[in-house]
Structure 1
Amino acid sequence: MERQSRSKSFGNVRDNDLKTNIESTAIDNVKIKRARLSSSIKQYLTDYTTNSNLHGLKYIGEKERTLVEKIFWLIMFTCCVVCCALLIRKVWEKWNYSPVIVSFAESSTPVFKIPYPAVTLCPETNVMQTVFNYTKYSHLYVNNFEKQNITLEEARLVEDVSLICWKNHYAPLNGRNFSHGNETVENIKKISPKIEDVMVDVSIWKSKYLSLSSFLPILTEEGYCYTFNTIDADQLLRVENLNTDYNYLEPSNKSHTWTLENGYSPKTPLETYPHRGPGHGENTGLILILKVTNQDCDFLCSGPTQGFKILLHSPAEFPRLSQQFFRVPLGRDISVAVTPKMMTTSEGLSNYSAFRRQCYFPYERYLKYFKVYTQTNCETECLTNFTYAKCGCVHFAMPHGPDMRLCSVGKRNCMDDARMELITIEIQNELDDTMHADDIKREALRVAINCQCLPSCTSIDYGEEISQGNFNVEAVANAYNLSFNKEKQGDSYTQVKIYFKEAQFIKVQRSELYGQTDFLANCGGLLGLFLGFSILSVVEILYFLTLRIYCLCWSSRQNKKCNYLKKDIE
């Protein structure tokens, strides 16, 4: 029994020793493999640093160099890498955030290559008191509406006319919130002055008489105005998306060969539409004699100022008189010298995003109500959408779809607030907590943020230089022994001359500040200056990471096979 137990113990000891020997052998093999791998990697890195064409690396890999020298060159190489990376980052930021440079064109452009400005004329007397006494009926509406001293038709007319009157505290704001488009526009049209009521039929264009029919009625926030040289409504507006109750711009039925981005086609004749810039000087422009019948002035509606508002704009823009205009007083001779300001964009910027170049090409931005993209058209459409989101209705002069209701005087404050909020929406977005806002405010904010009305990549503006003097029609008529109708002696007249100041102008153009080639050249110059880096350096790194490793492994396998064959032979 004892022998058996001893034999078993002896067997267990041998088994334990065997296991220990196997484990120790395995550990030793792992250590050997790790040592070999570490030695191979070290040898591999030494091989790369010794043979690399990057400055400073060979001193790190050379065996005869002392440790101090190697540390010195490692620090210097690291500093060069960091400095080079910081400078390349600055170059990238400049290329990414400001890739556009705005410069003057190398040669001047004749004014006949661009259109004459569209002239939109709005009389301050937008309500003819001889047709409808707004002052009288407005007082009746406010003070005696409950006493039935005003008919329902007259009350509706007061409400509709108040939408285009000068902002006064007496305007009725307790009326209806919504109105019918065709009814409102018909009421506005009925009391608005006609073109023959505000302009004498002796207008001159390029030293020739101009028919008053050349001035087309256009619906604006000021009521009915008249525009000259604006492209046809079918070319400016997407009529298929607009309401059909009334026209915003009366059709002219004139075809045109001009586009904002391409200008006039090469074979376009001198007389075309929109009219070309004919030249410079008073005799080559537009001369208008405007008039105001004093009996038609309604100061409660028009305010303290009488005269006209004139806006010069691109023929492809829908006028916004509330934003830009110059005022023409009565009894004056106004001379308006126009200096064009044209901005173009090189095709090299088409590959950049619109926000990097800060403009839209015509094919990049779709407008629902306008066929031509301009910043003004975009802002007009944006104001329509924002007002509808905030108030549930829009002003009758805003281009809008058939499913949108029209605001009446009850929503006038809301429309005014929407116009102001849209201007300051970015600041409000930073200050307000929209998480706790109601659904209407969040929807309005969403519409405003989606506007993003950048300028058009090709745009034309018309700067004005205005001078004036006295204009006495009656004295001139007496000097020429002309009969002056006594009925017209109470009228006030003014003359406006609009012409190009010079025969040529200098365009401004956007172009690439840094193209891709320039960016690569700058980066390559910095890499070469600090590190001696080149394209072959990239190839060298790829070679050491791929092909050289593969070749070394393949050579190692071949050597092992040869060793096995030698052992077998022996």
Structure 2
Amino acid sequence: MAKKTPKSLLKNYLLNSSFHGYRFVVENNRHWTERLFWIVCCTLSWVATGLLIYSAYDDFKNNAISFVVDTSYLDWDTNFPSVVVCETDQQENIANVTDKVFGDPHDYNLDEIVKELVYYKGLSIYTLQICGPDVQNRDENCFKKHLRYFHDQVRSSCRNLFKSCIWDRREFDCCKYFRIIDTELGTCYGINSLQTREAHPPSFKMVSNRKLGPGSLKLKLLGNLNLYVLGPLDVPSLSSSLTDIITVSPNTRIERYFAIKEIENQPEVKHVEIDKRKCRFPEETDFDVYRYYSYSACSVRCRKRAQLSKCRCAHHLVPNTPLENQCDLDGIKCLNDNYNEISVFKAAWSNRTGLVCGCLPSCNEIEVAVIRDDKKRIEEDYAIVDLQLDRLPTERFKRNVVRGKLDLVVSMGGATALFLGASLLSFVEILHYLVVTPCASHIRNTIKPPKKSLKK
């Protein structure tokens, strides 16, 4: 049997291929104009197929997710946002602790230093002026305790911050549900937050719907505080928006009315790669500061890494920072000298000094829009804060997958079938005609069948 040449194998494949049109190029007795016509048609078909497949892949890569507005709101249950309370000053506790540590009397400049360290806001100007490494003849008490010690001793407990809590005219135990949250601002107390120190804190149902109406939370608070209204995954930080913060002090009554917009995710969104959906789900995190991902948690982690990289320490209030990695006064000076570089965020395209983090938003974030704030003076020696949902939400955002992996496969298959008249098995044919068939033929020719023995 004559051995088939590559040319004859190719011709045999084109004559029998399920790709449409190719047999007209190699069939005998075809005029050259017919061959040319079909060569042009087949080439254009491949070009069109390639363009469509590229377009489908580009859409899959860059436009896999779409946002739509859902207005089927009649049966929605809307959860009240997280409310976090952080102390900002406590002079009585500071005086008691400094008397205990430094003795009475002592240099009362140390009281101001302790206040600056306990309620750290990113800069320690007063501390460095009195106790900095470059200060000559500084007070020997400057190094008496590690910096975190004062925070733990001065900060008020939950029972000393909350007088009462009322949800929709129903009073409840504040400190049973306001649980500790470790933040870069120090110890805070939050309700409805997923970032508490405990993995499974007690939950208090705070739901608004068409039956119950818009909910309200009334707090009576003691001392000087900052109150944050946030999403359940967010945390107070040095970069918190001013619109999220309510400054609270005794003898004041504050009413805040706000509206909520939530984001719902189609289940298939989780299967889309992070860089395509451009958001992260709570469990998609490897952070060492918080249990769940959020934009604010990512910001804290980014700032911590920058501090460790630049100064080989992080400031003493950063969550989950071992004592050996917390800054001493030399480290605090380094943080102060490089404040803009390691604490102030900037956009990647900006030329100013700052920190680029590239944090993605959370896929489950909520939008809390302030409608109005009312503030007035009262006679009581505590503060009253009324947080009220202004209205039930009438719309929410929904993140849908419009181009998943299956859609990509269908688009590619459709383009191939439309322009080439082919299927997946058509490409298997190439392997069959050009590789499998020659190999099988070679094996048949080289292995001779055994001769039959003649019967005697």
2:366 corresponding residue in structure 1: 461
Residue 358 of structure 2 corresponds to residue 395 of structure 1: no
**1:162 and 2:116 aligned:** yes
**Counterpart position of 1:227:** 190
Q: How far apart, CA to CA, are the structure 1 residues paired with 2:208 and 2:387? A: 12
Counterpart for residue 176 of structure 1? 132
CA distance in 1, matches of 2:121, 2:304: 21
> Which has the larger share of helix?
1
Write the distance in 1 (CA, Å) between the matches of 2:72 and 2:409: 31
Provide the rounded CA distance (Å) in 2 between the counterparts of 1:542 and 1:516.
26
Q: Distance in 2 between matches of 1:335 and 1:71?
A: 77
Per the alignment, residue 384 of structure 1 pairs with: 304
Q: Is the 8 A contact 2:289 2:300 kept in 1?
A: no
Partners of 2:52 and 2:184 lie apart in 1 by 53
Residue 207 of structure 1: CA displacement?
0.4
Residues 370 and 335 of structure 1: CA distance in aligned 2, closer, same or farther (over 3 Å): closer
- One-letter amino acid of the counterpart of residue 84, structure 2: T
Is 1:520 aligned to 2:409, yes or no? Answer: yes
Would you say 1:59 and 2:24 are equivalent positions?
yes
1:56 is matched by which residue type in structure 2?
G
- Give 2:89's aligned amino acid: N
- Which residue in the other structure is 1:146 paired with? none
1:496 corresponds, among 385, 392, 395, to: 385
Supply the distance in 2 between the matched residues of 1:365 and 1:122 (Cα, whole angstroms). 25
Q: CA RMSD in A?
A: 4.6
Q: CA offsets per residue over residues 483-523 of structure 1, 9 Å max, x none?
A: xxxxx6xx7x8653223344466554444322333212211
**TM-score calculated relative to the size of structure 2:** 0.73
Q: 2:37 aligns with which of 65, 72, 90?
A: 72
Question: Relative to structure 1, is the Cα distance of residues 127 and 55 closer, same or farther in structure 2, using a 3 angstrom cutoff?
Answer: same
1:54-99 deviation digits (Å, cap 9, x = unpaired): 2331221122222233233223322321232122122122223443
How far apart are the structure 1 equivalents of 2:93 and 2:23? 98
Match in the other structure for 1:285:
216
Is contact 1:336–1:496 with CA below 8 Å preserved after alignment? no
Aligned residue in 1 for 2:255: 334
CA distance in 2, matches of 1:431, 1:337: 35
* Superposed displacement of residue 213, structure 1: 4.1
SS of 2:314 mapped into structure 1: coil
Report what 2:167 is aligned to. Answer: 205
Partners of 2:266 and 2:401 within 8 A in 1: no
Q: Is the 8 A contact 2:46 2:419 kept in 1?
A: yes
Which residue of 227, 233, 239 maps to 1:310?
227
Shift of residue 460, structure 1, vs aligned partner: 3.8
Q: Which amino acid aligns with 2:168?
A: K
Corresponding residue number in structure 2 for 1:93: 58
Structure 1 residues 75 and 228, CA gap change in structure 2 (3 angstroms): closer
Give the direction of change, closer, same or farther, for the CA distance of 1:314–1:547 in structure 2 (3 Å limit): same
Distance 1:109 1:419 in 2: 47
1:545 to 416, 419, 434: 434
CA contact (8 A) 1:47 1:61 kept: no
Q: TM-score, normalised by structure 1?
A: 0.60
Post-superposition offset of 1:398: 1.0
Q: Which amino acid aligns with 1:498?
A: L
Give distance in 2, aligned partners of 1:427 and 1:128.
Answer: 43
CA contact (8 A) 1:203 1:286 kept: yes
For residues 55 and 232 of structure 1, the distance between their equivalents in structure 2, rounded to whole angstroms, comes to: 61
Residue among 509, 520, 533 paired with 2:422: 533
1:226 CA drift (Å): 4.5
Instruction: Report the Cα offset of residue 155 of structure 1.
Output: 3.8
Question: 1:414 and 1:345 mapped to 2: Cα distance?
Answer: 46
Note the C-alpha offset of 1:362: 5.0
State how far apart, in whole Å, the 2-side matches of 1:557 and 1:167 are: 82
Contact 2:307 2:342 in 1 (8 A): yes
Q: Give the 3 Å change call, closer, same or farther, for CA 373–415 of structure 1 in structure 2.
A: same
Tell me how far apart the structure 2 counterparts of residues 169 and 45 of structure 1 sit (CA, whole Å).
79
Extract unaligned runs of 5+ from structure 1.
Answer: 1-35, 133-149, 237-253, 257-272, 293-306, 433-444, 475-487, 562-570
- Which of these residues, 7, 13, 36, is aligned with residue 48 of structure 1? 13
Measure, in 2, the Cα distance between the counterparts of 1:130 and 1:376: 30
**Counterpart residue identity of residue 58, structure 2:** E
1:79 match: secondary structure: helix
Q: Distance in 2 between matches of 1:103 and 1:393?
A: 45
Distance 1:88 1:224, change over 3 A: closer
In structure 2, list runs of 5 or more residues that go unmatched: 96-103, 134-142, 450-456
**Residue aligning to 2:136:** none
Q: Matches of 2:125 and 2:14 in 1, distance apart?
A: 87
Equivalent position amino acid for 2:371 in 1: I
Residue type of the alignment partner of 1:158: E
Q: 1:394 to 1:530 in 2, by over 3 A?
A: same
- 1:365-403 deviation digits (Å, cap 9, x = unpaired): 333343333333233233223212212332222111232
Q: Deviations over 1:91-146 (max 9, x none)?
A: 1222234433344458548564x6432212346x62548976xxxxxxxxxxxxxx
- 1-side partners of 2:430 and 2:384: how far apart? 78
- Contact kept, 8 Å, 1:104 with 1:509, in 2: the verdict is yes
| Residue matched to 1:275 | 205
Q: Given residue 463 of structure 1, which amino acid in structure 2 is its aligned partner?
A: V
Contact 1:109 1:507 in 2 (8 A): no
